[in-house]
């Protein structure tokens, strides 16, 4: 395990060089890994595990759209694809990758099959951290571990197929067998992580919920809408407003940030852009930091978890979600985006 220094703060990280795939295969050679759920993370993690030579099966509800998707992806009913309970019974490691609401609903079935020596694997700290709300309390004689890829399952799979990796955090909540660390690192490498950095279940879910509601999704969408609206109110066309708000960011500037950092991106833009960005970033930080403080308090207090559980458990949740997403999709901003995407050279 390497120690990386981030401005005086040391972190434990594990790279593919330190824990190669050959070692992961050796650790997992006698394990049966059951991936429970085939929604967001399930497809990417299970397919990567299979391609890396790990003995993996999938557990999913028969007759569902995700069951059909698993079949289309090459999982064979009765051989590598089973109903959730049968997969859990066969497994020595249960990768619990259902949605948070799905985990709550299915927990009695999973708990029944957590016999001594097994491992329960999460990719999100929600169920364990907020166990007073979710009811998810594993028995003391199983390992409880976490590998959380820092991106969607789709990205995890795409990068794996391209020979790359998506960074992941890892954590050990309970080491009942003495093998939890080897198990979690082996699984982290085998699902396609670029490197693994250490955390705990609570920090993972606090940072994850804050990030999703903040910069990664919620704040970004809100800022897009605000800037687009201001440009349109001041007479700019939809095409101009969208390109200056979204297209240039996603297609030009963010790849530069990903490549070498924000300062390098600034250094490779015009002096006019540099000066304006450097001056105005302080105003945006001052304006938004109180909102992020409020957000983090809402996450750490459990209010966000309570809202997720209450809302997602309602029978009409999916219907209301579809309506919310339709409102975004049908807005002028994202209709302009759909048009602009069709005009990209690679789509012609």
338, containing H or E segment: helix 332-343
| Catalytic-labelled residue, pool 113, 124, 236, 282 | 124
Show the CA angle centred on residue 219, arms to residues 214 and 222, nearest 5°.
Answer: 160
Cα separation, 147 vs 347, whole angstroms = 36
CA 328 to chain centre: 22
CA 224 to chain centre: 22
Residue 316 backbone dihedrals phi, psi, to 5 degrees? -100, 15
Cα separation, 69 vs 153, whole angstroms = 14
**Residue 124 annotated among the catalytic residues of the structure:** yes
Cα separation, 145 vs 175, whole angstroms = 8
Residues noted as catalytic: 124
């Amino acid at each position: 395990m390497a120690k990386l220094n981030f401005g005086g703060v040391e972190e434990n990280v594990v790279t593919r060089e330190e824990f190669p795939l050959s070692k992961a295969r050796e650790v997992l050679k006698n394990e049966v890994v059951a991936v429970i759920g085939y929604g967001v993370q399930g497809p990417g993690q299970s397919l990567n595990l299979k391609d890396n030579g790990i003995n993996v099966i999938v557990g999913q509800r028969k007759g569902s759209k995700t069951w059909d998707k698993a079949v289309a992806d090459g999982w064979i009913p009765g051989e590598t694809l089973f109903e959730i309970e049968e997969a859990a019974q066969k497994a020595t490691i249960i990768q619990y990758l259902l949605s948070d609401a799905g985990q709550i609903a299915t927990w009695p079935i999973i708990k029944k099959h957590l016999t001594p020596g097994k491992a329960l694997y999460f990719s999100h700290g929600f169920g364990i951290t907020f166990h007073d709300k979710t009811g998810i309390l594993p028995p003391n004689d199983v390992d409880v571990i976490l590998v959380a890829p820092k991106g969607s399952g789709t990205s995890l799979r795409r990068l794996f197929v391209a020979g790359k990796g998506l960074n992941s955090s890892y954590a050990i909540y309970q080491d009942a067998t003495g093998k939890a660390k080897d198990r979690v690192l082996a699984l982290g490498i085998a699902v396609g992580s670029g490197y693994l950095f250490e955390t705990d279940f609570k920090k993972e879910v606090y940072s994850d919920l804050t990030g999703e509601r903040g910069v990664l999704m919620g704040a970004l969408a809100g800022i897009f809408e605000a800037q687009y609206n201001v440009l349109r109110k001041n007479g700019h066309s939809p095409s101009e407003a969208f390109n200056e708000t979204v297209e240039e960011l996603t297609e030009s500037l963010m790849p530069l940030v990903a490549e070498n950092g924000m300062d390098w991106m600034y250094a490779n833009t015009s002096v006019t852009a540099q000066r304006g960005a450097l001056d105005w970033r302080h105003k945006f930080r001052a304006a938004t930091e109180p909102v992020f403080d409020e957000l983090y308090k809402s996450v750490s207090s459990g209010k966000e978890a309570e809202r997720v559980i209450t809302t997602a458990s309602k029978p009409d949740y999916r219907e209301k979600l579809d309506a919310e997403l339709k409102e975004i999709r049908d807005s002028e901003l994202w209709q302009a985006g759909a048009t602009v995407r069709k005009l990209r050279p690679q789509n012609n």
